[in-house]
Amino acid sequence: MRYLQSFNRRLRYLREQAQLSVSDVAEICGVQEAQVHSWEAVDARKRGYPGISELLDFCLKTETPLEQLLDMDDGAGGQLDLPGLAFSNSDDLTTALAELEQTIGRFQPNDQEQELLRRFRKTTDENRRMIIQLLGD
């Protein structure tokens, strides 16, 4: 969470500068007002953080550079490490996201695997143990 250490203060500052209410930010990000309140919480124990889609929605819809919300000055040269995007050879976000979607797609279970998982979840604990034993732990 090194990029989010001062996120709560930065979000509140940017929201107030743009004269946006908590309700406005909630609508922009597609979340409940309570979530935005948790993002801005002073008490770290009550603080929440937006997901990547909410963060990007806010930045794109308010034309706010991502660097203004995140702590980017840790010597990383301004490069944001997003898990899953490190494999991309492209500087274009659209291309990187398309590559990420392809990578995720390779790990999605096919129809047969989904059916096996569905049946496994519905069976008894004893049957699950037997299945795991048959598969060789």
Between 3 and 55, the more confident residue is: 55
Residue 114 neighbours by CB distance under 10 Å: 11
User: What b-and-e string marks burial along 87-104, b requiring 16 or more CB atoms within 10 Å of the CB?
Assistant: ebeeeeeeebeebbeeee
Encode pLDDT of 66-123 as tens digits.
888 887 764 444 444 554 445 555 566 777 777 777 777 777 788 888 888 889 889 9
User: Domain map of the chain by residue range?
Assistant: 2-73
Position 85 scores a pLDDT of 47
Question: For residue 59, what are the contacts with CB-CB under 8 A and spacing of at least 6?
Answer: 65, 66, 69
Encode pLDDT of 23-33 as tens digits.
999 999 999 99
Encode pLDDT of 45-70 as tens digits.
888 988 888 888 899 999 888 888 88
One-letter amino acid for residue 89 of the chain: N
Alpha helices in 1-137 (DSSP H): 7-17, 22-29, 33-39, 52-62, 93-107, 111-122, 125-135
Instruction: State the pTM of this model.
Output: 0.52
Position 37 scores a pLDDT of 94
For domain 2-73, give the CATH number. Answer: 1.10.260.40
**In the structure encoding, which two tokens stand for residue 65, read together?**
């550079």
| Cα separation, 2 vs 72, whole angstroms | 9
